[in-house]
């Protein structure tokens, strides 16, 4: 499985630092998910499919956060439904959410959503 740049959070990683460091060079798409969530599982191959386009890897990194393992992070981002995608644009000094997508989304709609926010600009 090839995924954009797939960062799965674990207890040894500082999620805020990972996001902050990656937004200096790329936009970051945070995928809040749970293993028991069917729409979250449906989103997995969509993210994988987008990542097979090597152009995306020069613009976007994906951070996956399992809300059952990291409820504090989910609370910080006010996650109330799954899946939730949070988009943070490339910026050398700030980490600022510009958009979020709640619920399932098709590959075409996800690409249109990312393009709407000028991720490849």
Per the residue annotation, which of 37, 62, 65, 86 is the catalytic one?
Answer: 37
pLDDT score for 112: 94
Is 37 catalytic? The answer is: yes
Task: Tell me: pLDDT of 2 over 90.
Answer: no
pLDDT score for 58: 82
Per the residue annotation, which of 4, 19, 28, 40 is the catalytic one?
Answer: 40
pLDDT score for 12: 54
Torsion of CA 93, 9, 71, 42, to 10 degrees: 110
Task: Tell me: pLDDT of 61 over 90.
Answer: no
C-alpha to C-alpha distance for 15 and 53, rounded to whole angstroms: 26
Tens digits of residue pLDDT in 17-49: 888 888 899 899 999 999 999 999 999 999 887
Is 44 catalytic? The answer is: no
pTM value is 0.86
What DSSP state is assigned to residue 6?
A: E
Task: Tell me: pLDDT of 100 over 90.
Answer: yes
Query: According to DSSP H, which parts of 1-121 are helical?
Result: 15-23, 38-51, 54-57, 71-76, 107-116
**Number of other CB atoms surrounding residue 61 within 10 Å:** 24
């Amino acid at each position: 499985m090839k995924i954009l740049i797939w960062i799965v959070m674990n207890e040894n990683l500082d999620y805020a630092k990972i996001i902050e460091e990656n937004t200096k060079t790329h936009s970051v798409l945070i995928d809040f998910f749970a293993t028991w969530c069917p729409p979250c599982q449906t989103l997995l191959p969509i993210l994988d499919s987008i990542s097979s386009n090597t152009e995306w890897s020069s613009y976007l990194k994906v951070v996956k956060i399992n809300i059952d393992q990291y409820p504090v992070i989910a609370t910080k981002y006010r996650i109330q439904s799954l899946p939730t995608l949070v988009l943070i644009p490339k910026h050398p000094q700030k980490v600022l959410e510009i958009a979020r997508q709640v619920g399932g989304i098709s590959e075409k709609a996800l690409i249109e959503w990312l393009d709407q926010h000028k991720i490849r600009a």
